C-alpha cells in the first residue's frame, strides 16, 4: 500500500482537550453559564474602555452645550441680548448688544427699558425708563446713559409680548 492511499487517523480525546481549555469553556461544557458583569456584556476590556469613552464624550458634549446656553445671554423675542454697565467718565452707561439668530423668528419693534438701583428696600428706589427700537439686522448696539450713580442695577426689558428682568453689577 502506498502512502497516498492510506487514510489519516486523528486521535481525539475530549477529556484532554477540556483539561487544557479555559475556565469559561469548562463551565460551558458542564452546562453552567458564568456571567462576569460588564466583561460578559461587552466581550473584553477594550470594548468596555471604548464604551466608557463614548459615554464620557457624550456627557462632556452635553455639559458644554449647557454651559454655552447659560453664557449665551438674555433671550428676548428670539434675539440674544448682552447687557453690561460701563463708565464714561463719572456717568454709568447701559450697553445693550442685540444679536439675531441665524434662523427663526425675531422680535422687531419697540423695547422699553426700565433701570433702577438695586439697593435697600426701605429707601425709595430711583427708576429711569428709555425706549429703543430693534431693527431687522443681525447685530446692533445700544448705549443708554443712566442719570444716577451706582454700581448695582436692575434692568427690566419690556416688549409687546414679553418681559425680562436682570440684575447687572459694575465691577
5 falls within a domain: no
108 CB-contact burial (10 Å; exposed 0-12 / middle 13-18 / buried 19+): middle
Q: 67: domain range?
A: 14-71
Q: What is the pLDDT of residue 72?
A: 63
User: pLDDT by residue (tens digit) across 81-105?
Assistant: 888 888 888 888 889 999 888 887 8
Contact 116, 127 (CB under 8 A): yes
> Could you give the number of structural domains in the chain?
2
Q: What is the per-residue DSSP string for 33-98? A: ----THHHHHSSHHHHHHHHHHHHHHHHHHHHHHHHHHHT-EEETTEEEEEEEEEETTEEEEEEEE
Residue that the C-alpha cell 460701563 belongs to: 86
Return the higher-pLDDT residue of 31 and 114: 114
Residue 56 lies in a domain: yes
The tens digit of pLDDT for each residue in 125-167 reads: 678 889 999 988 889 999 999 888 888 888 999 998 889 888 8
pLDDT score of 132: 92
Q: Which of 31, 48, 71 is the last residue of a domain?
A: 71
Q: Whose grid coordinates read 469548562?
A: 26
The pLDDT tens digits of the residues spanning 11-26 come to: 777 788 888 888 878 8
pTM here is: 0.57
Amino acid at each position: 500500500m502506498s502512502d497516498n492511499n492510506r487514510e489519516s487517523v486523528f486521535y481525539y480525546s475530549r477529556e484532554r482537550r477540556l483539561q487544557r481549555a479555559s475556565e469559561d469553556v469548562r463551565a460551558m461544557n458542564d452546562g453552567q453559564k458564568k456571567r462576569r458583569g460588564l466583561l460578559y456584556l461587552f466581550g473584553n476590556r477594550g470594548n468596555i474602555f471604548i464604551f466608557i469613552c463614548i459615554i464620557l464624550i457624550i456627557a462632556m458634549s452635553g455639559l458644554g452645550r449647557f454651559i454655552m446656553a447659560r453664557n449665551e445671554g438674555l433671550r428676548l423675542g428670539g434675539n440674544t441680548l448682552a447687557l453690561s454697565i460701563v463708565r464714561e467718565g463719572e456717568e454709568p452707561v447701559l450697553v445693550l448688544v442685540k444679536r439675531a439668530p441665524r434662523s427663526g423668528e425675531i422680535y422687531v419693534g419697540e423695547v422699553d427699558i426700565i433701570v433702577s438701583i438695586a439697593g435697600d428696600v426701605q429707601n425709595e428706589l430711583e427708576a429711569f425708563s428709555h425706549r429703543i427700537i430693534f431693527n431687522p439686522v443681525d447685530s446692533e448696539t445700544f448705549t443708554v446713559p443712566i442719570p444716577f450713580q451706582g454700581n448695582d442695577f436692575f434692568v427690566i426689558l419690556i416688549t409687546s409680548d414679553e418681559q425680562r428682568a436682570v440684575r447687572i453689577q459694575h465691577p
